[in-house]
Structure formats: C-alpha cells, structure tokens
Structure 1
Amino acid sequence: MAETVSPRGLDPLGFIEREGSHARVPLVFRPVVAAVRDRLLEVFGARLDSAYLYGSVPRGTARTGRSDLDLVVVLRAEPAGGDRDAARALGEAVDEEFPQIDGVGILLYSRARVLDERERYDVGWFVACQCTPLLGEDLAEFLPRYRPDSLLARETNGDLADLLPRWRRRIATAGDSEEALRPLVRFMSRHLVRTGFTLVMPRWNGWTSDLREMAEAFAGSYPERGGQLRRAAELGQEPVGDRAVLRSYVDDLGPWLAHEYARVHGVKTPRPDGWD
C-alpha cells in the first residue's frame, strides 16, 4: 500500500505544531477555565510550577454538557498521595459546579519528570505539543521540536501490553451502573484510538487529535480492524456504560493492537517504579 503524505498538524519544517490556545476556548467554557486557574493556585500555592489545558476545550471543539475539562498540573516536587487527593477533590467540585462540563481530569507530574530525558518523547512531548499553558512557566521552552516518527510512536503508546492487566482489574472492580462504566468506556476508547493512530502516524506523516480522523488514518493501513477503531472513536465521544464493550477492548482489540505495535515500533522504554 502506498504511503500517504499529509502535512496536517505539521509546520513547514515537518515538526508537530502545538495544539490549542486560549483564543479557541469557547465562551461557555471560559468561566470554568477561570475558576480552575484560581483554585489551582489556592490548592497548590507555591508548590505549583505550571499548569496546562489540553483536549477539546483549548482546541475549541468541546461540546456543552458532554465534554470533560482536561488539565496537566506540574509541581516543583514529586506529587504525593495528598496531592492526588486534593486534585481529585478540586476536579469533583468544579464538575459539580459547572454543568458545561462532564467531568474533570487532572494529570499530576513533577517538573523534573516533565524535563527528564526518559520522558522526552512521552510526557515532554505531550506538554510541548498537546498542552496550552495556563499558569506558570511554559516548560515547552526547555524541550525539543518533535516529528511524527517511529521513536515518538514507541515512547508515547508502546506500553499498551503493560496497561491491559490494569484495565482488566478496573473493569472487574467497576460497578454495573451506567455512571460507573461510562467513564471507563470513554477513557479506554480514546486510548485505543490514539494508540491505533500513532501506530500508523509515521506513515500518515502528520498529527491530529480528532478521534474520527485518527480512526480513518488507522483504517487506511488496517482495513480489517478499521470498523473497530471507528466504533471506538464514536464511543470516545459518545460513551455508553456497556461492560461488553470494555471486555472486547481487553480481550480482542487491545491485545492485537499491543502485539502489532511491538512488531512495528518496539516497546516503550521502561520507566522507574511509580512513574505511572
């Protein structure tokens, strides 16, 4: 099959362009962003190094009442259990207060980890290319430019085989309610679509965060699995609380994708214990 050359998401030199901006945040979500910014300062104070938005809100594609608010919070020291509890409580409070959003996700890292060479093509790339600065110093200034190559593919999503046992445990311990299962379907659907996309990203030669476009790029190289990824893209945006969907992810699509990923790009460089 001939390789498809696409400049989407790249600058004239072939580097991945940074997504999102405050100018793209829809008006309806701006009060939420302002509230989160203030509360992050209240909760973490001087321990906060920087904070970022990512996802549909800074890309301008968020849907009122259906999209979640995603944040990366970087602390000056390694996050502790109390920091994660505080971030979870902050997210729950904001989610309850603002009906515009359907959940708040907060990733916590230390400054040292974001800038660690071992994370350069994973967390570092994510902050530099997928995140919009919200507070503090922009750590992208200390990181390189990135191309959509096999190294980036391996280090971003080359760990799916290690994740699948955790996913199975989460599914086994989740309740049977729509409320319990729907977030898992959304999370795992998005993760599998992004993994499928980065599997073919070097051939596609570009970058996109649009789930449907990711699935189509994947289907161009793996038509026999294209239908599964297209369905996952739909569920990543309109999730349903269906345990059968989750089982299909960890019993079929996930294991196949992990095996093919390792064959094509290799597996992600092991990280120290505790670097989940």
Structure 2
Amino acid sequence: MFLPLVSATEAGLRDLFGNRLHSIYLYGSVPRGTAVRGRSDLDVSAVLHDRPTDRDRASVEQLATELDRQTDLVDEVGITLDGAQSLLSPAQRHDGAFHLSCLCTPLWGPDLAEQLPEQHPTVELARGIPSGTAAAFSRLAVALDDPGTARLDHACQRVGRRIARLAFACVLFRWPGWTSDPDALAEVVKAYYPARATELDRSIELGWGRLRNRPPTAPADQQAAIDLLSTAAPWWLAEHLAVTST
C-alpha cells in the first residue's frame, strides 16, 4: 500500500543529494507493518556522507511537505537528516546511533548500522535517548500557545509521545529492554510509577490516538497537552535526571 510513497521519497532524496547521499532508512509503523492508511506517518531518516547544512535541512523539509501534499496514504511525511561521521561519533552512541541501529530499517544504500556498536538497555542508553527533550518541550509549548500553528493536532501528538518516551527512558534499564509498542510501554512504566498512571494514559492517548481513529483535534486535547507540559513534563525530566545520574 505504501510502496509508491516510499519509492517517491527515495527518488526525491536521491535527486536532491546525488552522490552526497550515504543511505536512507525507514522507521515507525510503516516498516513494522502496523501502519494505518491515512492515520500513520511515513518516518524517514536520511544520512549524508558529509555534514548537513541548514540549507540541506530546509530542502528536506520542503521535500517532505511536497510528498505529504501529494498523497492521502499517510497523515504526515517526516524526514530527519544526519551526517554519517556524526552518527559514528562517541557522542551519538546513545542517541542518533541507537535510533539508526535499533529503530530503523535500511531502504537504500549501505547500512551504517553495521559500523555502529551493539546497543544494550543500560543506564547510559537511558541517559542518552531523550537528548533534546527539554528543548522540544519548550518549542511545543510555544506552538500550542500560538493561534497561527497550522497543525495543533501534530503538536499535541508530539507532546504525548515525548512524555511517554521520556517516562520509558526512566525504566528501560531496570525492566530491562526496549519496546516501540505504546500499550506495552505504558504497562511497563506504570508498573514502576503507578501514581503517574493517569497522566501516562493521557500521553499515550494524545500520542497514538490517531491510529485508533481518535486524533487529538478537540480543544480538550490541546488543553490536555498544555497541562501535561506544565506538570508531567518537568516531573519526568527531573525524575529522568535523578534515576540516570546514579
């Protein structure tokens, strides 16, 4: 079902970067085979041989927007862009390298994961996975407060997913393991933090409700996302720092 869009995305990236392009990967529900037509996203990671520039990132964003406009197969097309040397660096071992080697499926080009170290559910991995989450929360708070934000439902969805994944990072090395299934993620976290069950359920609903035909488009969803950013987000940031600093 999604093959034409995947092929168009591959062709667009190859045309855009030519010999600079190292490889392309898929992640999320499409390669897992759980995507729902019109509700899921097409998530793509592109890797360049050299370091991406701001102009490169703007071009990728434009390509994703054009692909999204041309299809109703998915709710949104998202493309991340990184440089191969950055992903191979020690600084990215528990962030970008984990994403590529454990969450991505190769689509085109040599698989960079073959050069990356093995990943294990350690406290170091738990510390590195949510890199940039605090800054993302700040950006999302601005977006939710801006009447000009084009897709508030996307902002609500990202709030839910960010909080749920941050919460899971607090327990993955104690569980230990990794899951991308939101229901499994919620059950694992609630076993360690039963008092946070209500806010975690709300985060899951915002983050993945679209796949259950319950997209976060109501005013109450926007308010729930704002409330989670003001209460749950700082609590989980502090808890993550505490449990991964030992």
What are the equivalent positions in structure 2 for 1:69-84 lying under 5 Å apart? 69-84=42-57
What are the equivalent positions in structure 2 for 1:109-188 lying under 5 Å apart? 109-157=82-130, 159-173=132-146, 175=148, 179-188=150-159
- 1:21 aligns to what? none
Distance 2:44 2:136 in 1: 21
1:248 aligns to 2:227 (yes or no): yes
Distance 1:159 1:73 in 2: 19
Describe the SS at the equivalent of 1:50.
strand
- TM (normalized to structure 1)? 0.81
Distance 1:50 1:79 in 2: 13
- 1:235 aligns to what? 206
Deviation for aligned residue 1:150: 0.9
What are the equivalent positions in structure 2 for 1:19-34 lying under 5 Å apart? 28-34=1-7
Structure-2 change in CA distance of 1:86 and 1:161 (3 Å): closer
Distance 2:71 2:151 in 1: 20
- 2:72 aligns to what? 99
Q: Percent of counterpart pairs with the same letter? A: 37
CA contact (8 A) 2:199 2:228 kept: no
- TM (normalized to structure 2)? 0.91
Distance 2:157 2:132 in 1: 19
Deviation for aligned residue 1:162: 4.4
Deviation for aligned residue 1:157: 1.5
- 1:22 aligns to what? none
Describe the SS at the equivalent of 2:82.
strand
- 1:260 aligns to what? 239
CA contact (8 A) 1:127 1:140 kept: yes
Q: Deviations over 1:207-236 (max 9, x none)?
A: 110112111111111111112112211221
CA contact (8 A) 1:187 1:236 kept: yes
Q: Which deviates more, 77-86 or 213-222?
A: 77-86
Distance 2:86 2:240 in 1: 25
Aligned-pair RMSD on alpha carbons? 1.7
Q: Which deviates more, 240-249 or 201-210?
A: 240-249
Question: Which ranges of structure 2 fall in alignment gaps of 5 or more residues?
Answer: none
- 1:11 aligns to what? none
1:196 aligns to 2:164 (yes or no): no
Distance 1:116 1:232 in 2: 33
Q: Deviations over 1:14-61 (max 9, x none)?
A: xxxxxxxxxxxxxx1111111111111111111111111000100111
Deviation for aligned residue 1:76: 1.7
CA contact (8 A) 1:190 1:233 kept: yes
Describe the SS at the equivalent of 1:202.
coil
- Which runs of at least 4 in structure 1 moved beyond 6 Å after TM superposition? none
Structure-2 change in CA distance of 1:166 and 1:229 (3 Å): same
Q: Deviations over 1:108-161 (max 9, x none)?
A: 111111111110111011100100111211111111111111110001115534
Structure-2 change in CA distance of 1:139 and 1:174 (3 Å): farther
- 2:185 aligns to what? 214
Describe the SS at the equivalent of 1:200.
coil
Deviation for aligned residue 1:174: 5.1
